[in-house]
Amino acid sequence: GDYSPDSYRIIYERDREKRIYKIQEDIEEYLSATQHKSNTINKHLRQLQVFINYLAENNEIPEVNFYKRYKKKTQEKEITPYTTEEAKRIINRAKETDEILYLLLRLFYLTGGRLNEWLNAYFGIDPFNVDLKQKTITFRNKIRRDQSQTIPISDKVEEVLFRLKELEEERGVYKNKVIPYSPKSKSSITRKLSKIEKELGVKQKGRSSHGFRRLLATELFAKEVPIDIIKDIMRHSSIDVTMKAYRKQDQSRMKEQLKKLDR
């Protein structure tokens, strides 16, 4: 409420830079007083930055990236990807018990999309656009909506999306949504996935839906897909991010290549 366009308009008439200073002052006060963990702090900063970008786009304030300036360093989460066999077993078990979960897991595996992204996915409606006519999926940047990334829909992904579209037309709630769950349903889906992992005996520390994303990238590496293509498919900000995220999974291939050296 403190950062409404109306209040900024009053301050703007006096001093444009004062508005920026007030935001900066509030952020620094929050950081000095909070006991939140780094991940929570960064989450709040991202949410604030979205609104700051909105104000800048409407010429209310100059464009300033406070998130980049104040974000906290966080310890990288340990993510244990599934093997291809494990992923297929999990997906097949979901197919027997929960069709929506089954289709969602296939989307994870086929597109590398994140859970939060698919829970906010709509057929042809902003902010997450699944366009079956153009055969494209537009992923939105977490902070800047204008920095969208579009990937083509493959035949297998199209098959999954058409089935979800059929189910969407049959239901009375969550119309136009690709996945008929609230965006707040992440914990519910995580519990369902965890239950299947335990039943199959593949539960490990660091396992989550993100493991399907890592598996996709690992398989792309194994198939020797060019790194710039992998970067675009995974929608990383740079090739360095791609290499950092998946270099750990590539040790066996490195070993095989070193064996080929004629020394």
**DSSP collapsed to 3 states, the chain:** CCCCHHHHHHHHHHCHHHHHHHHHHHHHHHHHHCCCCHHHHHHHHHHHHHHHHHHHHCCCCCCCCHHHHHCCCCCCCCCCCCCHHHHHHHHHHHHHHCHHHHHHHHHHHHHCCCHHHHHCCEECCCCCEEECCCCEEEECCCCCCCCCEEEECCHHHHHHHHHHHHHHHHCCCCCCECCCCCCCCHHHHHHHHHHHHHHHCCCCCCCCCHHHHHHHHHHHHHCCCCHHHHHHHHCCCCHHHHHHHHHHHHHHHHHHHHHCCCC
pLDDT of residue 175: 82
HSE-up (13 A, CA, CB side) for residue 65: 5
Residue 247 has a pLDDT of 65
How far apart, in whole angstroms, are the C-alpha atoms of residue 187 and residue 207? Answer: 14
Per-residue pLDDT tens listing for the chain (263 residues) = 566 656 656 655 666 666 777 888 889 999 999 999 998 999 899 888 888 888 888 877 778 889 989 999 877 666 777 889 999 999 999 999 999 999 999 999 999 998 988 988 888 866 558 988 889 998 876 656 666 788 899 999 999 999 999 998 888 778 888 999 887 888 899 999 999 999 999 988 878 888 898 889 888 888 888 988 988 888 887 888 888 766 655 665 666 667 777 66
In angstroms and rounded to an integer, the radius of gyration of the C-alpha atoms of the chain is 22
Contacts (Cβ under 8 Å, ≥6 apart) of 165: 123, 132
55 and 61 in contact (C-beta within 8 Å)?
yes
Give the pLDDT score at 71.
92
pLDDT for 238 equals 83
Single-letter amino acid, residue 258: L
**pTM confidence score:** 0.71
Measured CA to CA, the distance from residue 223 to residue 44 in angstroms comes to 39
